[in-house]
Amino acid sequence: MDAKMVEAINDQINFELYSGYIYYSMGTYLSDLGLSGMTQWMIAQTQEEMFHAHKMLMFLCERGERVELKAIDGPATSWESPLAAFENALEHEKIVTGRINDLVDMALELKDHATANFLQWYVAEQVEEEASVGGAADNLRLIGESGNALFMLDKEMGARVFTMPAAGEE
């Protein structure tokens, strides 16, 4: 693999780990508010981000490349509201999407077809990520200040669990 591509994937591995760290922080914020369902949603999101990092890490290992884990900055620890947390999460996912697209562009530019093919899973995954987080933010906007609706949405969101993709789906 081209050294530029290896460095860029290593940077993305660390960014995926940072993403998990952000979602852990959002989960603890929501827990402090007594929103156990939204906390569970964020914990599932954290697990998903850790899987994304692991998948990239294993790709580099399979290609005989060196993985370089670096220090991760601390994320924000509070937000103005649950809605603000989910809006922040959506903006973060849009940044991730841009970074994945940049990786694909680089792989194509370098004629690294194996990496370009590998990254297509992430391209599709980011469509799902933005839709999931965006849908949660939309629901929070819809319910506004209704405590009863917040209670029901929190309960519904608590049903989310991370399920490891089956072999071949990843």
106-163, pLDDT tens digit by residue? Answer: 999 999 999 999 999 999 999 999 999 999 999 999 999 899 999 999 999 999 988 8
61-101, pLDDT tens digit by residue? Answer: 999 999 999 999 999 999 999 999 999 999 999 999 999 99
Write the secondary structure of the chain as one string of H (helix), E (strand) and C (coil).
CCHHHHHHHHHHHHHHHHHHHHHHHHHHHHHHCCCHHHHHHHHHHHHHHHHHHHHHHHHHHHCCCCCCCCCCCCCCCCCCCHHHHHHHHHHHHHHHHHHHHHHHHHHHHCCCHHHHHHHHHHHHHHHHHHHHHHHHHHHHHHHCCCHHHHHHHHHHHCCCCCCCCCCCCC
pTM of model > 0.85? yes
**Domains delineated in the chain:** 3-69+79-157 (1.20.1260.10)
